[in-house]
Structure 1
Amino acid sequence: MNEKEKYVLCIENKIFSDEHDDQLARYRAEIEREFPDCRRRFVFLTPNSGEASESDWLAMGYGDVLDIIDRAVETAAPAPETARFIADYMDTVRRNILGDRELEDICKRIYAKHKRALDLIYEHRPDVVSTISNCCRKWIGEKAGNDKTIKLRKDTGDKWDTVFTTNLLPRLLPGIDEPSGIWGEYGHCVYQIHVNDDKDVPRVRLQLVFNFDGLDERLRGDCEEVIHAIEEVYKKVRIGKRWCIAWATDYSSVPIDSEEEWDKSLAKTLDGMLRQLKRFEGKLSEKQ
């Protein structure tokens, strides 16, 4: 709380559990009752920006937190000992909360080679999110092999996101496929198959993601025009200083624990999402 500015920031941090018993509504009511004369902001913090059940709560992910810390360190230039402490904290968050792609791959190879080995190796088996993401990468790889308008980006993405692009984006935004610091040679705008596991059943959706780092004023303006058109076509858009995420489809559940052939069910779901994406792009083309 900032008493001078009469401002209260309330953060509900969920890492390894879900919402329950109307927590957010109860917490908001309590803060409003305790600080009636203050401006209030409610933040729902999860590893991957999980949606809050209450509209008054702003969804944030630990990736957002790391971006804020990174900018603060760059601006403040802390003492070496402090900088090392901050770097260790950021590495811990990436490894234990966000997931480390390289470490995951190493664990997968060890487990495949020594299936009956130590309990430690057993603990590092691929988890639900990684298993679903692997199926998503296999699916989009097969689609890219049959549809030349789709390109799979095998060396980008992370535990939660499978990255691909289509031919439409460079046509709408000439220059958007120039190399970026996030996706390298694949530019500043990609599609992601995003896996969310913050509910009882994991879910997937298709989303269009912009990264504004390094864009000149003209291209940033072109991006904003396209984003505005997306808001007219499909209302669910979240815009930040460095990022914009547009929902190309809604979430769909993945019955990994309830269906024996869940991977086939997932493939059918993704087929339907791809058809929605084609319609999404068609409407977007009409707006430009």
Structure 2
Amino acid sequence: MDEKLREICRKIYAEHQDALDLIFENRPDNLSLMSELYVEALAELANEKNEEIKIISTSKTMIRFQTKRLNQLFPDLPENFPGGWNNHKPYGIELYNKSESISGRIKIAFTGKIDPDGRQRLERILTEVDGGRKRKDTWEWWGTGNWKIAGINNKFVEDIFIIVAEEGREKIVSKIKNNLEKTLIQIDQFVDRIEGIAENTRLK
């Protein structure tokens, strides 16, 4: 950049400092936009599925939600056990958005801060679900399953502003929703295993 251009930039900044500072502080970024698109896609799915999906929390780096079916298997914790998230939720389906490469990955996370009997039963269930892989006795969080929403990759996230501008936000949300729905079908099949193991564990 030559000195003349630098001088022009300094002059513009001096005349519009407050407005430019505000723009810089609130400038959008790819991961923030992806988070918004995920939330919109989940909200549309929840509406279509008669609230079988419930969003628990949202942030730039993660969206946590629950499903009606998993809620039946793992209902809210009692009043005296707020759990690891302090919301009485024993689990959350976590959609990660920490980076371009991680964006679109999903796991099911369980909190270990529950009543001792429930924790022992949960350990037995998750150990079997994970093929016998055990955790330390002091575990606080247990993540299981590993899915990735189709169509979400580094290039898609890096180019998301261009893609939305060219194709339209509504169309992109619809694409994410359709691929997310397919992922949820895979998760539901995984829950079949959890349900069968949980039923056997309940009888022991």
TM-score, structure 1 length as denominator?
A: 0.49
CA contact (8 A) 2:128 2:197 kept: yes
Structure 2: which 5+ runs fail to align?
1-17, 199-204
Percent identity among equivalent residues? 23
Q: Tell me the equivalent position of 1:107.
A: none
SS of structure 2 residue aligned to 1:249: strand
Q: How many residues matched?
A: 166
**What amino acid maps onto 1:132 in structure 2?**
M
1:152 aligned to 2:152?
Answer: no
Q: Is the 8 A contact 2:31 2:100 kept in 1?
A: no
Whole-angstrom distance in 1 between the partners of 2:111 and 2:22: 38
SS, match of residue 183 in structure 1:
coil
Counterpart in the other structure of 2:19:
117
Q: Deviations over 1:155-212 (max 9, x none)?
A: x24321111111233433355476625434351211111114164xx63122111122
Describe the shift of the 1:143–1:229 C-alpha distance in structure 2 as closer, same or farther (beyond 3 A).
farther
Alignment match of 1:223 (pick from 116, 122, 146): 122
Q: CA deviation at 1:220?
A: 0.8
Alignment of 1:50-199 (within 5 A): 117-147=19-49, 148-153=51-56, 156-174=57-75, 176=77, 180=82, 182-197=84-99, 199=101
Which has a greater percent of helix?
Answer: 2
Question: Deviation string for 1:83-133 (max 9, x for gaps)?
Answer: xxxxxxxxxxxxxxxxxxxxxxxxxxxxxxxxx921453243232222111
Distance 1:181 1:121 in 2: 39
What secondary structure is seen at the aligned counterpart in 2 of 1:197?
Answer: coil
Q: Quick one: which amino acid aligns to residue 231 of structure 1?
A: D
Which residue does 1:285 correspond to in 2?
Answer: 195
Distance 1:151 1:207, change over 3 A: same
Paired AA for residue 59 in structure 2: D
1:249 maps to 147
AA of the residue aligned to 1:244: W
> Is the 8 Å Cα contact of residues 106 and 148 (structure 2) preserved in structure 1?
yes
The one-letter amino acid of 1:208's match is: I
Shift of 1:139: 1.1
Task: Pick closer, same or farther for the CA change 1:174–1:134 going to 2, 3 Å.
Answer: closer
- The change in CA–CA distance for 1:123 and 1:276 in structure 2 (over 3 A counts) is same
Contact 2:74 2:91 in 1 (8 A): no
* Distance change >3 Å, CA 275–CA 224, structure 1 → 2: same
Q: Kindly name which structure, 1 or 2, has the bigger radius of gyration based on alpha carbons.
A: 2
Q: Which has the higher contact order (CA 8 A, sep 6+)?
A: 2
TM-score normalized by structure 2? 0.66
Cα pair 1:169 1:176 within 8 Å, conserved: no
1:206 aligns with 2:116: no
User: Aligned partners of 1:181 and 1:251: how far apart in 2?
Assistant: 28
Instruction: Identify unmatched segments of 5+ residues in structure 1.
Output: 1-115
